[in-house]
């Protein structure tokens, strides 16, 4: 392999007193805002009440019901993860936090039974054939649960879902970074089906500053399967889950291999609505639908 693992952003130092200023608070606020926890106005660099409340909310979400220290909370906040917000309009995460909860849906799904995907820009970290095999495997797992058929296309059909490896700014408003800033902890991000996903609907972007690997035979690097398996969920309309075992848990898990039972229930309920959705008056060429989903988490 021709590149070294990307430098992650790390916070260090003690938590300041409430309303005190500290250089560490600037990046803390950046991370909390980036992932959807700091939504109120705050004073940059000051550990004020909105910043404290946002950190407490993150701590609650990531603790899986256990009491964890500030040091452990910061350690988790700095882990490599998906760049999609945990609490935004994109993920519609307005429901109460329930540990081990199923993923939240974003409210739009694909209606057609067959979806085409295309690798628009591969990584140079390993052979293209290996990348194709990994994406085929990841899509097939989602196909087993949703009943969708996924077909790889090389241009003969218009792709619904595209996959591309980028570095830094890549014109979607969510730049990657390899220099150790808060953006550097994003391994990938994805956009939901239209209309919610806008002009990038169905796009999956991987940070090509990462050292990507095709299997566990290599210690260094990030598992392309684990990240792709997660990001496809976003491209199908799934949001994040607070369950550490879920495929939609936002933090990188190299050992991610399959769905939890709650994952399966949510996915099947979401894509089981397609038959009903087809009965709703839609333009003839419509391939997606926006759903007003009343989802109860128990």
Quick check: is 178 catalytic? no
- Chain position carrying tokens 């019901």: 65
What is the three-state SS of 147-187? CCEEEECCCCCCCCEEEEEECCCCCCCCCCCCECCHHHHEE
Domain 108-290 belongs to what topology? Answer: Collagenase (Catalytic Domain) (3.40.390)
Q: Which of 187, 46, 38, 59 is nearest to 125 (CA)?
A: 187
Can you give the residue ranges of every domain in the chain?
108-290
pLDDT in tens, the chain (298 residues): 467 777 777 777 788 899 999 988 998 998 899 888 999 999 999 999 999 999 998 888 776 656 677 888 888 888 889 999 887 433 433 333 333 444 555 568 898 899 999 999 999 999 999 999 999 999 999 999 999 999 999 888 999 999 999 999 999 988 988 766 766 789 999 999 998 889 999 999 999 999 999 987 787 899 999 999 999 999 999 999 888 899 999 999 999 999 999 999 888 888 876 656 555 545 545 555 555 444 333 2
What is the three-state SS of 94-117? CCCCCCCCCCCECCEEECCCEEEE
DSSP 8-state symbol, 251: B
* 133 Cβ neighbours under 8 A, 6+ residues apart: 214
Instruction: Look at residue 288 and give its three-state secondary structure.
Output: strand
Q: What is the pTM of this model?
A: 0.85
Query: Would you tell me how many other CB atoms lie within 10 Å of the CB of residue 53?
Result: 16
208, two tokens:
């090509």
Annotated catalytic residue within 149, 216, 231, 265 = 231
- Asked if 101 and 242 count as a contact pair (C-beta separation under 8 A), the reply is yes
């Amino acid at each position: 392999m021709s590149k070294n693992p990307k430098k992650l952003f790390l916070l260090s130092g003690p938590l300041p007193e409430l309303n005190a200023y500290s250089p560490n608070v600037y990046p803390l606020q950046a991370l909390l805002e980036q992932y959807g926890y700091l939504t109120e106005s705050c004073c940059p660099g000051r550990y004020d009440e909105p910043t404290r409340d946002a950190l407490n909310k993150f701590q609650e979400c990531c603790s899986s019901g256990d009491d964890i220290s500030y040091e452990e909370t910061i350690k988790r906040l700095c882990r490599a993860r998906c760049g999609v917000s945990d609490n935004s309009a994109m993920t519609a995460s307005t429901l109460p936090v329930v540990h081990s909860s199923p993923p939240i849906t974003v409210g739009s799904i694909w209606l057609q039974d067959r979806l085409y995907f295309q690798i628009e820009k591969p990584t140079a970290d390993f052979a293209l054939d290996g990348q194709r095999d990994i994406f085929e495997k990841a899509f097939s797992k989602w196909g087993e649960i949703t009943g969708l058929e996924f077909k790889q296309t090389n241009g003969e059909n218009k792709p619904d879902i595209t996959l591309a490896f980028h570095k830094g700014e890549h014109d979607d408003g969510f730049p990657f970074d390899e220099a150790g800033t808060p953006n550097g902890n994003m391994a990938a991000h994805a956009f939901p089906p239209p209309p919610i996903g806008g002009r990038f609907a169905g796009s999956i972007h991987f940070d090509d500053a990462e050292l990507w690997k095709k299997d566990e035979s290599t210690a260094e690097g990030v598992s392309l399967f684990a990240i792709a398996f997660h990001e496809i969920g976003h491209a199908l309309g799934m949001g994040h889950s607070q369950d550490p075992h879920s495929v939609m848990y936002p933090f990188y898990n190299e050992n991610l291999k399959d769905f939890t039972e709650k994952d399966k229930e949510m996915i099947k309920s979401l894509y089981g609505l397609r038959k009903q959705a087809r009965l709703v008056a839609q333009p003839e060429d419509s391939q997606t639908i926006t759903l007003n989903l009343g989802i109860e988490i128990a």
